């Protein structure tokens, strides 16, 4: 009987009733050229979201609601030994600029804001609204 | 069973539905799909009826799925998944399965493929008692083909086949109550859900997958293109629908035990939900006030009905 790995190589190796695993290797997440992950939809965007890591509280709201799965998170272990996802950035290859992530971001001054596509990230970060009359907590 | 406690932990899940698909910016379909397929670690076999989700996630030669996926016609997502499930069962009985990992079967269909065209297949599969979960992505119309009405379109909504005009106020019929119809099939678990309440949806999906037998989830999927609101408002529109009780969240076990899973702290007037969408804008013109009143009356009555059912445990 063919192994799952062999079954992924060519169609005639696929057995009846076989359930193909998601990846060849879950660690490296290798995907074929036919996966839409290798297709870019960046040109759909007029405005892009910019991420400000200094304000982010890692609530992951943006992760769960981004329709294009392009909020990049990193798994970290907290001091109490719990695993949690840390927001690290945006996958600009698949972001369509819908703005959902900005809308759901709960920090008093948003950690994500929309800027025109051509604005460089540094410039956008420099223009970020400041905490004026908001008290630190 | 994977434990879903908080979002920080849930977000560590490797995504099984990835970007690069061609759904509109801000589409709620992919939010629902991600919340469902990421809710379990088991292997999945997914079938998808023709609709936005299918055409956008499988444009030749690409696929956006990291799970086994069957594309099938408009009418038979439930039939395809019940066939796959029956084969899996038969191979298991004969000892011919190549894996011991648990496999779950899920079908996705839009409201056109569920309420109208796919209904007989779904009804049949439920009646035969296959072990699968059917998720209806309810965007209240045939949005893939340009926004025609379906039996899910609520009263007063403008669609291309129920257009508003000098005389017409849009759709004339009430939204069909598919969840109750599925409950009446005696399905062990049916529920309504909304992607704006991610935990509610993920937990319901998990519960449905764990339940043996045909289960059904009707998920509201706000459609930015045809409901006519800005793409970034998707999550907020879903919230308005639930907070105004226009789309109440509940679950029914075995067709007889209803439980309301989310109660708005303060019920907001349904006008706020309708007013946020362009497809209802004509209802706010002079002469159409009676539809708004009718809407509010229907929503109140239905909410009362649910509460009474929950109280009596039926
Ligand atoms: S703008 Fe939309 S697609 Fe882009 S990261 Fe935000 S939610 Fe995702
Ligand atoms: S929603 Fe805002 S605060 Fe939460 S993780 Fe995303 S960027 Fe950070």
Buried b (16+ CB within 10 A) or exposed e, B122-152: beebbeeebbbbbbbbbbbbbbbeebbbbbb
Q: Verify whether ligand 1 is closer than 6 Å to residue A70 (CB atom).
A: yes
Distance CA A60, CA A40 (A): 24
- B187-200: pLDDT as tens digits: 999 999 999 999 99
Contact between A91 and B19 using a beta-carbon 8 Å cutoff: yes
Structure token pair of residue A88: 């690290």
Provide the percentage of residues in chain B whose pLDDT is more than 70. Answer: 100
- A17-55: pLDDT as tens digits: 666 655 556 566 677 777 888 889 999 999 999 999 999
**Longest pairwise C-alpha distance within chain B:** 69
Of B22, B67, B234, the CB nearest to A100: B234
Handedness of CA B74, B75, B77, B79 (dihedral sign): negative
- What's the N-to-C CA distance of chain B in angstroms? 28
- A51-82: pLDDT as tens digits: 999 999 999 999 999 999 999 999 888 888 88
Of the options 3.40.50.300, 3.30.70.20, 2.60.120.10, 2.40.50.140, the CATH number for the domain spanning A47-128 = 3.30.70.20
Structure token pair of residue B267: 């019920």
Contact between A65 and B87 using a beta-carbon 8 Å cutoff: no
Structure token pair of residue A129: 């609204």
Structure token pair of residue B70: 């069957």
Contact between A98 and B25 using a beta-carbon 8 Å cutoff: yes
- With a CB cutoff of 8 Å and minimum separation 6, the contacts of A121 are A50
C-alpha of residue B29 to centroid of ligand 1, in Å:
14
Structure token pair of residue A134: 């908001």
- B121-167: pLDDT as tens digits: 999 999 999 999 999 999 999 999 999 999 999 999 999 999 999 88
Disruptive mutation site among A31, A32, A33, A36 for chain B (greatest number of B CBs within 10 Å): A36
Distance CA B155, CA B172 (A): 5
Predicted model pTM:
0.92
What does the DSSP 8-state code read for residue B285?
S
User: What confidence score (pLDDT) does residue A33 get?
Assistant: 74
With a cut of 80, say whether residue A8 has pLDDT above it. Answer: no
C-alpha of residue B268 to centroid of ligand 1, in Å:
28
Ligand number nearest to the C-alpha of B20: 1
User: What confidence score (pLDDT) does residue A136 get?
Assistant: 47
- Residues of chain A with Cβ-Cβ distance to B63 below 8 Å are 34-36
Domains of chain B: 7-312 (3.40.50.970)
Handedness of CA B145, B153, B272, A99 (dihedral sign): negative
Report A:26-65 residues touching B (Cβ under 8 A).
26, 29, 31, 34-41, 44, 58-61, 63-65
pLDDT (average), residues B200-224:
95
pLDDT: is B55 or B314 the higher one? B55
Q: Strands, DSSP E only, in chain B?
A: 43-48, 68-71, 103-110, 133-138, 189-193, 215-220, 249-253, 257-262
- With a CB cutoff of 8 Å and minimum separation 6, the contacts of A62 are A71, A87, A100, A101, A104, A105, A112
Report A:78-117 residues touching B (Cβ under 8 A).
82-85, 91, 93-100, 102-104
Distance CA A47, CA A29 (A): 29
């Amino acid at each position: 009987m063919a192994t799952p790995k062999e079954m992924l190589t060519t169609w005639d190796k696929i057995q009846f009733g076989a359930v193909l695993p998601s990846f060849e290797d879950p660690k490296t997440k290798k995907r074929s050229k036919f996966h839409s992950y290798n297709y870019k939809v960046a040109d759909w965007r007029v405005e892009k979201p910019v991420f400000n890591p200094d304000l982010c509280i890692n609530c992951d709201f943006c992760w769960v609601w981004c329709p294009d799965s392009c909020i990049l998170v990193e798994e970290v272990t907290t001091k109490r030994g719990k695993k949690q996802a840390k927001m690290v950035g945006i996958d600009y290859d698949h972001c369509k600029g819908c703005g959902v992530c900005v809308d759901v971001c709960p920090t008093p001054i948003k950690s994500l804001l929309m800027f025109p596509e051509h604005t460089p990230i540094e410039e956008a970060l420099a223009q970020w609204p400041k905490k004026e009359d908001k008290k630190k907590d | 069973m994977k434990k879903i406690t908080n979002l920080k932990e849930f977000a560590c899940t490797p995504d099984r539905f990835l970007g690069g698909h061609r759904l509109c910016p801000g589409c709620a379909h992919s939010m629902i799909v991600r919340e469902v397929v990421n809710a379990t670690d088991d292997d999945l076999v997914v079938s998808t009826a023709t609709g936005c989700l299918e055409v956008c996630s499988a444009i030749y030669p690409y696929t956006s799925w990291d799970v086994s996926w069957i594309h099938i016609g408009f009418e038979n997502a439930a039939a395809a998944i019940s066939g796959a499930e029956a084969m899996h069962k038969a191979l298991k009985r004969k000892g011919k399965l190549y894996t011991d990992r648990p496999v779950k079967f899920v079908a996705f269909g839009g409201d056109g493929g569920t309420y109208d065209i796919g209904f007989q297949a779904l009804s049949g599969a439920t009646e035969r008692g296959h072990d699968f979960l059917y998720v209806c992505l309810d965007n209240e119309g045939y949005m893939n083909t340009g926004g025609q009405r379906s039996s899910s379109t609520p009263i007063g909504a403008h669609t291309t086949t129920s257009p508003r005009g000098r005389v017409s106020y849009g759709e004339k019929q009430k939204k069909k109550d598919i969840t109750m119809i599925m409950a009446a099939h005696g399905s062990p678990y049916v529920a309504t859900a909304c992607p704006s309440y991610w935990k509610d949806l993920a937990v319901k999906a998990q519960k449905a997958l764990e339940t043996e037998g045909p289960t059904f989830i009707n998920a509201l999927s706000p459609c930015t293109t045809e409901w006519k609101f800005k793409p970034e408002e998707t999550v907020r529109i879903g919230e308005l629908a639930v907070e105004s009780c226009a789309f109440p969240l509940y679950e029914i076990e075995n067709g007889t035990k209803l439980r309301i899973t989310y109660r708005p702290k303060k019920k907001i007037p349904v006008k706020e939900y309708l007013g946020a969408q362009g497809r209802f804008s004509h209802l706010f013109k002079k002469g159409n006030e009676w539809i708004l009143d009718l809407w509010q009356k229907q929503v109140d009555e239905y909410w009362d009905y649910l509460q009474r059912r929950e109280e009596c445990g039926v």
